[in-house]
Amino acid sequence: MSIQIGERRVEIKELTVGKVRELIEVAERLQNHPEAVDFVADGLLGDLSLWEIEWFTDLKVADVDAMTPSELERVVDACKEANPHFFGWREKMAALGEKLLARQSSESSGPPSP
C-alpha cells in the first residue's frame, strides 16, 4: 500500500508478527531509559510515536522531520488501515493497563484508618 504526500510516495507496510514483537521489545527498552525520552517524538501524534512511523513505512528520521503534523496524521491513518490488528491489540493493552493502574491505586489507598 502507498499514499502520496506532496511530491513523495510513502510505502506503508503491514507488520509481521515477528516485526510487532521486535517493535514491542524496542519500546520496552526505551521505557527503561527515561533519559532517552523525546517528548516531541512520543507525544506529537496520538496513535504512533514518530520513531514508530519508521517501522510501518519507508520513511526515515529526516523524512519525518521534514513533514508537517497534518501530513504525518495521513501517514498514521494509512498505517492504521494497513495494520488493524496491531492497533486493536494496542487499544486493548492500553485499556488493560488503565484498569490495572486503577485497581492498584484503589488497593494502595485502602480504607481510611480509624
Identify the pLDDT of residue 90. 84
Q: What is the DSSP letter of 45?
A: S
In the block, residue with C-alpha cell 519500546: 27
Identify the pLDDT of residue 37. 64
Question: Letter for the amino acid at 102?
Answer: A
Residues facing 57 on adjacent strands: 12
**DSSP SS3 for 8:** strand
CA distances from 52 to 19, 39, 74, 85 (A): 12, 14, 15, 16
Per-residue pLDDT tens digits of the chain, which is 114 residues long: 999 999 999 999 999 999 999 998 988 887 777 666 666 666 678 788 888 999 999 999 999 999 999 999 999 999 999 999 999 998 888 788 888 888 888 777 656 555
Identify the pLDDT of residue 71. 96
Identify the pLDDT of residue 8. 93
Identify the pLDDT of residue 36. 64
